[in-house]
Amino acid sequence: MTGGPATLIIAGLMLRDVLNRAAALLAANRKFALVHLIKVKGSSPGKSGFKLLIAEDGEITGTIGGGDAERQMVAQAREALQQGRSRSVTYELTTRPGNLVKSMCGGVNEVFIEVFMPKPCLLLLGGGHVSRAVASLCALLEYPYVVLDDRPEFARRDDFKGALDVVCARGPEYLAGKDLPAFTHVIGLGYDAQFDLDALLPALTALPNAKLGAIGSKAKYAKMSEIAQQRGASEQWPRVKCPVGLSIGAQTPAEIAVAIIAEVVASLPDRESSGWNASGQ
């Protein structure tokens, strides 16, 4: 089975839709998979270069030729999304017993299912020297981030040009808002412990899957723990790691930023490194 000019024109238009949708999902930091039809041998309704996008919520854009082959590759893509790993699949378009795909076209197709995972999205509490150093590394790694500080002189967008947002507010006010970014990490870098605490405590509830931490000494953490207990958050408070960052003897703002971002990277799925454990620490 082969596709005529009309099929190729339609596929070209759908390819544009796929690429536009992929760009939008990347900008939104969402998880999705792209199925690339990379090799075709013999008769096949799909042609090399056809693409199909499967979003985490089930949305489908594009085509690799339709039929049972497309249905099976959508299932393969959803499985790859669950595992968070890309994969290659080769299948025959025949009715031979045991085949993954049932088709009478007779060809052989090879697809590459490319999984795009969301990048870490950080909420930086405080706009001081360490926050600026962390923000610079976020920009280098293309990690989306938001800066929160209640001092206008430390909440200027010009100082954080790569930020999703720079907000002049305190934690409770900001975290009570709607349509917040999908934060994966909340890092207390504030100018005092109370500012960090006022954001970290509501974040425990507002961001149940985020990893939380703060810079500071053991004495600071002990005092913050005491206040958290007084405010009824003792059960969830152990999710907050203090001091945050891998132990590398960091001293300068830049070194502290390296330690923090290294721990963020180490906390990503399938990274065989130390970092926050399953409970958040």
Is 5 a residue whose pLDDT tops 60? no
d(CA 56, CA 96): 32
- pLDDT, position 3: 53
Q: Is the pLDDT of residue 263 over 50?
A: yes
Residue 163: the pLDDT is 95
Average pLDDT of span 255-278: 80
pLDDT (tens digit, 9 = 90+) per residue, 206-236? 999 999 999 998 898 999 999 999 999 989 9
Q: What is the mean pLDDT of residues 133-137?
A: 98
**pLDDT for position 8:** 54
What is the mean predicted confidence (pLDDT) over 148-159?
96
Confidence of residue 68 (pLDDT cuts 50, 70, 90): confident
Structure confidence at residue 279 (pLDDT): 43
Q: Which residues pair with 168 in a beta bridge?
A: 149
pLDDT digits (tens, 9 = 90+) for 26-40: 988 899 999 999 999
Average pLDDT over residues 35-51: 90
Share of the chain above pLDDT 90, in %: 66
Please give the pLDDT value at position 7: 53
Integer Cα distance of 189 and 262 in angstroms:
16
pLDDT at 1: 46
Q: How confident is the model at residue 98 (pLDDT cuts 50, 70, 90)?
A: confident
Would the pLDDT of 82 be above 60? yes
Poorest-confidence range of 26-35, 134-143, 198-207, 268-277? Answer: 268-277
Hey, which CATH number is domain 122-266, 3.90.1200.10, 3.20.20.70, 3.40.50.720, 3.90.550.10? 3.40.50.720
Is the alpha carbon torsion for 181, 187, 189, 194 positive or negative? positive
Who wins on pLDDT, 279 or 194? 194
Summary mean pLDDT of the chain:
89
pTM of the model: 0.76
Distance CA 210, CA 189 (A): 16
Domain residues of the chain, as ranges?
Answer: 5-116, 122-266
**Chain centroid offset of residue 238 CA:** 24
Instruction: Return the higher-pLDDT residue of 183 and 66.
Output: 183
Pairing relation of β-strands 87-92 and 145-149? unpaired
Region 253-272: what's the mean pLDDT? 90
Distance from C-alpha of 244 to C-alpha of 275, rounded to nearest angstrom: 9
pLDDT for res 69: 87
